[in-house]
Chain A
Amino acid sequence: MLEVKGITVRYAGMPVLREVSLQVERGQTVGVVGANGAGKSTLLKAIMGAVRVSGGQILFQGQRIDRLRTEEIVRRGVIYVPEGRRLFGPLSVEENLLLGAFTVREEARKQRNLEHVYTLFPRLAERRSQRVGSMSGGEQQMAAIGRGLMGSPKLLMLDEPSLGLAPKLVSEVFETVRRLQAEGETTVLLVEQNVLEALELSDWAYVLQTGQIRTQGPAREILAADEVQKAFLGM
């Protein structure tokens, strides 16, 4: 479904990503793990067209998207839930969710998506008219994921959804991803610093280190690999 072929991204001449390749198949959950500054967020922003790719190609459903504007990529069904959530703070929960469905034309589908999000996150339904900026970190993360789902994603890309959350909320966030997997309609590309949880959730995983893919494989095997255990899990 998504094919990243040897992309390079530079910031002020310095390569932040070097010939990174990655694949996501329909229905899979793919995890990209790595330390802070390894280039994980840059990878997702490159897919979204928010940072310029200086080499390589990105294909989505067989078509090149690496020269498209962000809004066109969104229109094709690649939805990004950004790091730090980037919610529209002064607006209400529901207003934020509806903005997530900006590219959805059919009113009926928009309503279905809204109901789906409210079933998935009953707490958002209770607080639909609350200012999103006044909610707790965990609730905001749910609003951000919910807003992503409003756009009927073919591929949902989650950027550090557990960042800055208390442990209890972290598992709640991952629990949501599990429920999405169970529904079986969404393909997920998950970028995480929280290596253990992310790998437990993923089908396939990539380890990104200083801008390069260090290793890849079935998530279980990556989790068991010695170097991953040493580098990230302190075992």
Chain B
Amino acid sequence: MEALAVQILKSLVSGLLMGLVFALVALGLTVIFGVMDIVNFAHGEFLMIGMYTTLLTSPLLGVDPVLTLPLCVLVGAVLGLLCYHGLIRFLLRGPMIAQLFGTFGLMLFLRNMALLVMGSEPRIIHAGWLVGKSFAVGPNVVLESTKLAAAVLSVVSFLVIWWLINRTKVGRALTATSLDAEGARYMGISTERMNALAWAVGGASVAVAGGLLVNFWPVEPGVGLLFTMIAFATVALGGFGSVRGAFVAGIIIGLIVNVPPVWDALLRTIDAVGLKNLEIHSLKYTMVYAIYFLIMVIRPQGLFGWKQ
């Protein structure tokens, strides 16, 4: 019984922290989609590049991994701008399917470039202010500094983006562009510039997530896929283009992913032997897609979305 209680508390804590990370990863995706209706399949690769940025520049500059985060912001923003000006801008003239294949191609390109430069070996940060530190929040429940920092950064990033969108003139223009691009142009808004801005913000926010993620999650060129898929589910649940939706949905998905351990602990509490094959810990990401499927059927616009 006590094992179950501990597991519930563990799952709640871990779900909340990972949920905030998922939310931060989804933030950039939802901003880009909101402004220009483009689904960026290469989103997870931006995350991967953010992870490598911290991994490589920290020893190179001789500073703690945490201090490389501003560099991640910069790298992500530049990467977003490059992708927009070098590729996406041209895809906009084509049909929807060209846009899908275009960002899919971008994903393969970035992943294989990483493979070429970095090799396939998974790598992680071994030392730093955050690594290996934790504190107890209950009996047998610990809070890892790395995850806590990522969660805090997520909250801060959301506040910054929220402020940008709701309290600044450029944010209003961004909103107008996402609601009706042609209408926004009649207001004198350069929607081209707004698109580029969305890619810069999207790239920066996901790359900075990568910079903290690599403190507790190994990076390899293919790491992006899992996070892209989770980000898609998050954005769909929260509502395409909704920043608030991404925040709430990220937490929900973080908690969902942590349901299987609780279930398994429950089985073990009731009966130690007979129910072994009802354990579902291996299904934790499958559940995310099951939820994604359900949302698409029941509420295609998501929790806070206006687009479908």
Which of the 9-residue segments A91-99, A177-185, A206-214, A219-227 touches chain B? A91-99
Which chain B residue has the least Cβ–Cβ distance from A101? B187
* Neighbouring A residues of B189 by C-beta, 8 Å: 71, 99, 102
Which chain A residue has the least Cβ–Cβ distance from B172? A99
Q: Given that A50-B185, A88-B179 are contacting pairs, would A71 and B190 also be in contact in the complex, using a CB cutoff of 8 Å?
A: yes
* Neighbouring A residues of B186 by C-beta, 8 Å: 48, 50, 70, 74, 79-80, 82, 86
- Say which residue of B169, B180, B188, B306 sits within 8 Å of A71 (CB atoms): B188
Q: What number of residue pairs across chains A and B have CB atoms under 8 A from each other? A: 59
* Neighbouring B residues of A69 by C-beta, 8 Å: 185, 190
How many chain B residues sit at the interface, stated as a range, is 10 to 19
* Neighbouring A residues of B180 by C-beta, 8 Å: 86, 88
Q: Give the complex CA separation of A230 and B176 in angstroms.
A: 43
Q: How far is the CB of B149 from chain A (nearest CB, A)?
A: 35
Q: Give the complex CA separation of A90 and B183 in angstroms.
A: 14
Q: How far is the CB of A69 from chain B (nearest CB, A)?
A: 7
Which chain B residue has the least Cβ–Cβ distance from A74? B188
* Neighbouring A residues of B176 by C-beta, 8 Å: 88, 91, 99
Q: Give the complex CA separation of A69 and B306 in angstroms.
A: 29
* Neighbouring A residues of B251 by C-beta, 8 Å: none
Beta-carbon contact of A99 and B187 below 8 Å = yes
Which chain A residue has the least Cβ–Cβ distance from B185? A70
Q: Give the complex CA separation of A56 and B185 in angstroms.
A: 23
Q: Given that A90-B306, A95-B172 are contacting pairs, would A102 and B188 also be in contact in the complex, using a CB cutoff of 8 Å?
A: yes
Which chain A residue has the least Cβ–Cβ distance from B189? A102
A75 close to chain B: CB less than 8 A: yes
Contacting residues of chain B (174-212) with chain A, CB-CB under 8 angstroms: 175-176, 179-180, 182-190
* Neighbouring B residues of A80 by C-beta, 8 Å: 186
B243 close to chain A: CB less than 8 A: no
B173 close to chain A: CB less than 8 A: yes
* Interface residues of chain A: helix, strand, loop or mixed (majority): loop
Beta-carbon contact of B183 and A86 below 8 Å = yes
Beta-carbon contact of B182 and A103 below 8 Å = no
* Interface residues of chain B: helix, strand, loop or mixed (majority): helix
Contacting residues of chain A (48-64) with chain B, CB-CB under 8 angstroms: 48, 50
Q: How far is the CB of A77 from chain B (nearest CB, A)?
A: 10
* Neighbouring A residues of B182 by C-beta, 8 Å: 50, 82, 86
A39 close to chain B: CB less than 8 A: no
Most A C-beta atoms less than 10 A away, residue of B175, B187, B190: B187
Q: Give the complex CA separation of A116 and B16 in angstroms.
A: 50
Q: Given that A69-B190, A71-B190, A86-B180 are contacting pairs, would A91 and B175 also be in contact in the complex, using a CB cutoff of 8 Å?
A: yes
Most A C-beta atoms less than 10 A away, residue of B185, B186, B188: B186
Q: Given that A71-B189, A75-B188, A151-B187 are contacting pairs, would A89 and B179 also be in contact in the complex, using a CB cutoff of 8 Å?
A: yes
Q: Give the complex CA separation of A91 and B183 in angstroms.
A: 13
Chain B, 218-232, contact with A by CB distance < 8 Å: what is the 0/1 string? 000000000000000
Q: Give the complex CA separation of A19 and B177 in angstroms.
A: 33
* Neighbouring B residues of A91 by C-beta, 8 Å: 175-176, 179
* Neighbouring A residues of B184 by C-beta, 8 Å: 99
* Neighbouring A residues of B187 by C-beta, 8 Å: 74, 99-100, 102-103, 147, 151
Beta-carbon contact of B172 and A90 below 8 Å = no
Q: Give the complex CA separation of A69 and B188 in angstroms.
A: 9
Q: Give the complex CA separation of A105 and B304 in angstroms.
A: 33
Q: Give the complex CA separation of A31 and B57 in angstroms.
A: 65
Which B residues contact A (CB, under 8 angstroms)? 169, 172-173, 175-176, 179-180, 182-190, 306
**28 cross-chain CB contacts under 8 A:** A69-B190, A70-B185, A70-B186, A71-B188, A71-B189, A74-B185, A75-B188, A80-B186, A86-B182, A86-B186, A88-B176, A88-B179, A90-B179, A91-B175, A95-B172, A99-B173, A99-B176, A99-B184, A99-B187, A99-B189, A100-B187, A102-B169, A102-B172, A102-B187, A102-B188, A103-B188, A147-B187, A151-B188
Which A residues contact B (CB, under 8 angstroms)? 48, 50, 69-71, 74-75, 79-80, 82, 86-91, 95, 98-100, 102-103, 147, 151
Apart from A88-B183, A99-B172, what 16 extra A-B contacts exist at CB < 8 Å? A70-B185, A71-B185, A86-B183, A87-B183, A88-B175, A88-B180, A89-B179, A91-B175, A91-B176, A98-B172, A99-B173, A99-B187, A100-B187, A102-B189, A103-B187, A151-B187
